[in-house]
Copies of this chain bind each other. A is one copy, B any other.
Amino acid sequence: MKFLAAKDRGEITIFGVPFDGTTCFRPGARFAPAGIRFFSENLETYSPALNRDLDDIDFCDAGDLEINALPEDMVETVYSFMENVKIPVMLGGEHSVTFPVVKALKERYGELTVIHFDAHTDLRDIYSGTAYSHACVMRRVLELGCKIVHVGVRSGTLEEFTLIRDNPLLHLVDIKKLPEILENEKNIYFSIDIDYFDPAFAPGTGTPEPCGGTPVEFFSIIYNLPSANIVGFDIVEVSPPYDPSGITQMLAAKVVRELILKFWGG
């Protein structure tokens, strides 16, 4: 389908943030926006599962933001860009790119619930010298006062898991509970770290963690969610250098298509 070639209109703005400056293990997520777009060329615009077609959706692809090497600057650039975005569909980059988007949305909507698909808690306070590390992104989001629903989290420190247990804004749930949970949330943002999925399905990521979710289960849950109140989403941590067959990038492209069609295609 190629996102880039899509009709340039509508309230949905796809944009890429090719940043991986705080990645502690294996960098490469900077190449994800280009990679996901490349694979989206070979994805049909039509979704048989949803019986909807991207050709019927108004959205534009704004391309990639110009990002420099410093995390603070990336946060500022993305935050500024959000001024002109109504419904963000962001292609990371590492997970740190989520913070400025959520910050902008929280200020806009007052109340915001973040559905956090990930293998990792991402709740460290400081990591690798910076508060904007991808290992800290949900800690920053928490400080904004967002409610966070962790789905698929299976790695972290004892401190992080203790924080989840103790902080009333943090919830660790089974993906099967999502439909029920979303019923009652007002403004909902999805942040999908590709390592939520088992490494078999998404090997191309910086820090693969065994025992993740399957795409079949993920989409079957997504298809059964209520569509109201979704204010945007991102997909992050896809790393093309570690995706020799492209299956991770193809999965990410399909996640983007299905979520757009599900949430705004009705």
Taken residue by residue from 218 to 247, chain A's Cβ proximity to chain B (1 for < 8 Å, 0 otherwise) reads as: 010000000000000000000001111111
Across the interface, name the chain B residue whose C-beta is closest to A200.
B200
Residues of B within 8 A of A23 (CB): 69
Interface of A is mostly: loop
Q: Give the one of A73, A204, A207, A247 with max B CB within 10 A.
A: A247
Task: State the copy count for this chain.
Answer: 6
CB of B216 within 8 A of CB of A130, answer no
CB of A245 within 8 A of CB of B211, answer no
A10 contacts the other chain (Cβ, under 8 Å)? no
Across the interface, name the chain B residue whose C-beta is closest to A206.
B42
CB of A250 within 8 A of CB of B210, answer yes
Across the interface, name the chain B residue whose C-beta is closest to A53.
B158
Stretch with Cβ within 8 A of B (4 or more), from A83-91, A108-116, A149-157, A183-191? A149-157
Across the interface, name the chain B residue whose C-beta is closest to A52.
B158
- CB interface residues, A 172-221, toward B, < 8 Å: 198-201, 203-204, 207-211, 215-216, 219
A13 contacts the other chain (Cβ, under 8 Å)? no
A33 contacts the other chain (Cβ, under 8 Å)? no
- CB interface residues, A 24-65, toward B, < 8 Å: 24-28, 30, 34, 38, 41-44, 46, 48-49, 51, 53
- CB interface residues, A 61-88, toward B, < 8 Å: 68-71, 73
Residues of B within 8 A of A211 (CB): 215-216, 219, 254
Within the complex, the shortest CB–CB distance from A45 to chain B, in Å, comes to 8
A22 contacts the other chain (Cβ, under 8 Å)? yes
CA A50 – CA B102 in complex, angstroms? 33
CB of B44 within 8 A of CB of A157, answer yes
A98 contacts the other chain (Cβ, under 8 Å)? no
> With A27-B27, A156-B44 in contact, do A245 and B246 touch (Cβ < 8 Å)?
no
CA A11 – CA B45 in complex, angstroms? 37
Across the interface, name the chain B residue whose C-beta is closest to A251.
B210
CB of A128 within 8 A of CB of B247, answer no
A264 contacts the other chain (Cβ, under 8 Å)? no
Across the interface, name the chain B residue whose C-beta is closest to A215.
B210
CB of B215 within 8 A of CB of A130, answer no
Residues of B within 8 A of A203 (CB): 245-247
Known pairs A44-B156, A70-B70 / 13 extra A-B pairs, C-beta < 8 Å: A24-B69, A25-B41, A28-B241, A46-B156, A46-B161, A48-B154, A69-B71, A201-B210, A209-B254, A211-B216, A241-B241, A242-B245, A242-B246
